[in-house]
Amino acid sequence: MQAALSATPAVLTVELEPTAIMAGRPPEPLDRDRAELLAAPIADDLRRIVGEQVESAGLILPAALYDLTELLRPGLPMVEAMLDIYRGSLRGGAFQPQLLAIGSASGRFPESAIAPAREPGSGPLLAVPFALVAPGPQLDPLRQTLESTLLEKGRASLATDRALRQMLGVEPVNLSYATFHDLSALMKVQLEHAGFSGLWQLIEASLYRPDSVEIQALSAGNRFIAFGGSVWTPWKTWDQSVQERSDDQRAAEEDYTAWTQNQRQYMAGLTRHGVDVSVTAPASGTGAEDPEVALSVAQAHALADGQDWYREGVAGSLEAARTTDNTAVISVTEQSLPSLGPIAYTVMIQAADGALLLLEHDYPIRESGIGALLQHWEAQATELGATWHLERPDRLTISSETGQLQPWLEFGGSA
């Protein structure tokens, strides 16, 4: 009985000038005919670098350029997708080494799981991924050879360079082959050099140690708990920061600015690598020394799926506004810091007699949550028959006594 098929992934790294890719998206993937024209010189390169033994394995290659964040994801879904496609090409028959070049048809990839995202700003280091496929015992020595020789000897040939330039329209400054482990090492160096060693630790744990709990606590107070390819992170509000530094308003602002910058950068970096990030309500147990306890508390306090903002209640409730017949005003004040833009939205609902029905601060978890938040409250105003105000004073509106957030009270657009 033939052993189950296995795959060992690698890439052709395509290094561009830093300004080249920032001008737009990576190029469209090649169609089926041109995909084979790109795969052929790459297969020749592998025979030259690895040796004739590579011909005992199949080679599958999507003819497109990918950002490294599309490849280094929990569970390595790109590798699983390539293996599934190769397995399907055998139509239930015995394994046969073949070159399988995947190209687009009518502008679309046959499998959405391997379609390149082509996000603006990708690069400047892109990659053409591929995988060698064979029964497990047959592939093991080839995998070891790749790991020991590919990065060291893996310069691409002039034929491969020419194919990339002519068919994908890029101008690479360097072309070389690398395994996925090599890519991980490269990304680790890049992130550590940029001051994001903690971010790499979380990504690495999600990729290679999903069954263990990894905690990263940053000096600014950010906390991230990784497990099973997902990350949980407690939210911090402006008012909490002010309470911690009640003796120094400027220090509170500096602390919260640093916390928010870290939070945005880490959440964006994790999300780009396909790591699911769940925001949790602040809870003392998330700071427990025991990783299992911290994870359990974080999971218990995670916001509901699809919740785009964290609510910090101050007074009243939306239910109180819904159960009264004289809701008159819903005002939302955008709270901004100079270097960060909007950080929160203070929501106030008042009755016709001026009574306060609700006061809360809503913190968008991601930038995309701002629109959803504002649409939600405008819809509530329509439903309750209340006047809607959105005030943007382009700064924080805070209490002179406590330093905590408060609503802008001069309605009518005077902000």
Last residue of a domain, one of 150, 171, 192: 192
Q: Are 260 and 218 in contact (CB under 8 A)?
A: no
Looking at residue 40, its pLDDT comes to 96
Q: Are 130 and 101 in contact (CB under 8 A)?
A: no
Q: Are 263 and 340 in contact (CB under 8 A)?
A: no
Looking at residue 275, its pLDDT comes to 97
Over residues 399-406, the mean pLDDT reads 91
Over residues 300-329, the mean pLDDT reads 91
Q: In this structure, is residue 401 part of a structural domain?
A: no
Q: In this structure, is residue 411 part of a structural domain?
A: no
Q: In this structure, is residue 224 part of a structural domain?
A: yes
pLDDT at 1 > cutoff 60: no
Looking at residue 368, its pLDDT comes to 87
Nearest of 303, 385, 402 to residue 351 by alpha carbon: 385
Confidence of residue 259 (pLDDT cuts 50, 70, 90): very high
The total domain count for the chain is 3
Q: How far, CA to CA in Å, does 196 sit from each of 2, 20, 193, 222, 231?
A: 45, 24, 7, 13, 16
Torsion of the alpha carbons at 308, 310, 316 and 320, rounded to the nearest 10: 20
Q: Are 282 and 234 in contact (CB under 8 A)?
A: yes
Specify whether 12 is located in the same domain as 151: yes
| Domain of 210, in residue numbers | 195-300
Specify whether 199 is located in the same domain as 274: yes
Looking at residue 120, its pLDDT comes to 87
Confidence of residue 48 (pLDDT cuts 50, 70, 90): very high
Q: In this structure, is residue 396 part of a structural domain?
A: no
Over residues 334-362, the mean pLDDT reads 95
The full DSSP string for 38-88 is HHHHHHHHHHHHH-GGGGGSEEEEE-S-EEHHHHS-TT-HHHHHHHHHHHH
Q: In this structure, is residue 400 part of a structural domain?
A: no
The residues, any chain, with a CB within 8 Å of residue 135's CB and separated by 6 or more, are: 2, 3, 4, 5, 6, 95
Confidence of residue 25 (pLDDT cuts 50, 70, 90): confident
Specify whether 209 is located in the same domain as 285: yes
Question: Could you give phi then psi for residue 310, rounded to 5 degrees?
Answer: -95, 130
Of residues 1 and 137, which shows the higher confidence score?
A: 137
The residues, any chain, with a CB within 8 Å of residue 250's CB and separated by 6 or more, are: none
Specify whether 174 is located in the same domain as 295: no
Q: Give the CATH number of the domain where residue 336 resides.
A: 3.30.720
Name all contacts of 367-373 with Cβ < 8 Å and 24+ positions apart: 368/308, 369/308, 369/309, 370/342, 370/345, 372/308, 372/309, 373/308, 373/309, 373/345
Average model confidence (pLDDT) for the chain?
A: 92
Over residues 252-258, the mean pLDDT reads 93
Looking at residue 377, its pLDDT comes to 97
Specify whether 49 is located in the same domain as 164: yes
Looking at residue 411, its pLDDT comes to 58
CA distance 177 to 198: 27
User: Minimum mean pLDDT among 273-277, 326-330, 332-336: which range?
Assistant: 326-330
Q: In this structure, is residue 405 part of a structural domain?
A: no
CA distance 281 to 79: 35
Confidence of residue 9 (pLDDT cuts 50, 70, 90): very high
Residue 415: in which H helix or E strand, if any? none
User: Minimum mean pLDDT among 4-13, 86-95, 224-233, 290-299: which range?
Assistant: 86-95
Q: How far, CA to CA in Å, does 358 sit from each of 60, 142, 318, 343, 397?
A: 59, 65, 6, 20, 17
Last residue of a domain, one of 192, 216, 245: 192
Specify whether 130 is located in the same domain as 238: no
pLDDT at 415 > cutoff 70: no
Q: In this structure, is residue 80 part of a structural domain?
A: yes
- Convert the pLDDT of each residue in 97-143 to its tens digit: 999 999 998 778 878 888 999 988 888 899 999 999 999 899 999 99
Most confident of 183-197, 223-237, 321-335: 223-237
Specify whether 134 is located in the same domain as 200: no
Q: What percent of the chain has pLDDT over 70?
A: 98
Last residue of a domain, one of 159, 192, 225: 192
pLDDT at 22 > cutoff 70: no
- pTM of the predicted protein model: 0.90
pLDDT at 2 > cutoff 70: no
Nearest of 281, 248, 36, 6 to residue 135 by alpha carbon: 6
Q: Are 222 and 266 in contact (CB under 8 A)?
A: yes
Q: Are 276 and 230 in contact (CB under 8 A)?
A: yes
Q: In this structure, is residue 126 part of a structural domain?
A: yes
Specify whether 315 is located in the same domain as 296: no
β-strand partners of 215: 225
Q: How far, CA to CA in Å, does 212 sit from each of 21, 279, 298?
A: 37, 20, 15
What's the angle, vertex CA 396, arms to CA 394 and CA 398, rounded to 5? Answer: 145
Specify whether 355 is located in the same domain as 289: no
Specify whether 74 is located in the same domain as 182: yes
pLDDT at 414 > cutoff 60: no
- Convert the pLDDT of each residue in 152-208 to its tens digit: 888 999 999 999 999 999 999 999 999 999 999 999 998 999 999 999 999 999 999
pLDDT at 413 > cutoff 70: no
CA distance 144 to 156: 20
pLDDT at 326 > cutoff 90: no
Specify whether 177 is located in the same domain as 90: yes
Specify whether 237 is located in the same domain as 172: no
